[in-house]
Structure 1
Amino acid sequence: MINGKRVTVILPAYNAEQTLRATYADIPHLIVDDLILVDDHSSDRTAEVARELGMHVIVHDQNRGYGANQKTCYRAALARDAEIVVMLHPDYQYTPRLITAMASMIAEGEFDVVLASRILGIGALKGGMPLYKYIANRFLTAA
């Protein structure tokens, strides 16, 4: 909780068993009130690991895709009375260490929405983004 506002971290997941624990370890648990992982019908143990870590887990009965996973995440956060929602990918392409700063900007009324970029900072490739995704992203978002 920050400034009396409930902070919820949502994690849209697909086959994230190998990276979920590392992502979880860097979440600032002192300010996060709720963790919701939506598993998009993974073939690994993503949901089981999330439950072991104490997360609220929702599992899709079939793979619905990234957009549907996000919608399920947001609906669950709202149903659980989230006031500030931070989306974090459990594959550690985004650092959980920015959650406090981002949530604080909203909790203090400085901004209504805060967005981050995996392209800026240390760079997407150094942060673990696969080369093919980086090239496709740059091509599709070129001005």
Structure 2
Amino acid sequence: MNRNDKRASVCGLAFLPLSQATVRNFPGSPDIGVQGTFTPVPVSSAEYGETGEAGYPIEQELEAVVTDTSSAELNGLRTLFAEAGLVLLDFTNGDRRVIGTDEFPVQVNTELSGTPATLSLTFKRDSPEPAKVYSSF
């Protein structure tokens, strides 16, 4: 979901560990500059939502599912999400938003379950700012 287009949905997800990122962020700005290589995550479905208003904590929540649970893919994703970082979401309306900042990174939780196995990626957190428009520098 996006603040400007409530019908937009997530069509892509990528992650960048904070240790591999250079971030240019100004609190209160709707944009964030990120230098580093985001790693695409092969999600089969993803839902993101945020609620709240400026000046108050923004509740952010992500639920995504990865169905490729081969041992190589699982090891790669567990290594990727071992540290906090930035989540880049691509939306169906062409928007690209970053969740997290250098001061308030995102810790993504992983859980393997089911038959056939699926990997759930989740987080629920309060953030001082909403997701920001992505730009590289």
TM-score norm. by structure 2 comes to 0.25
TM-score norm. by structure 1 comes to 0.25
Which has the higher Rg, Structure 1 or Structure 2? Answer: 1
Higher helix share: 1
Higher strand share: 2
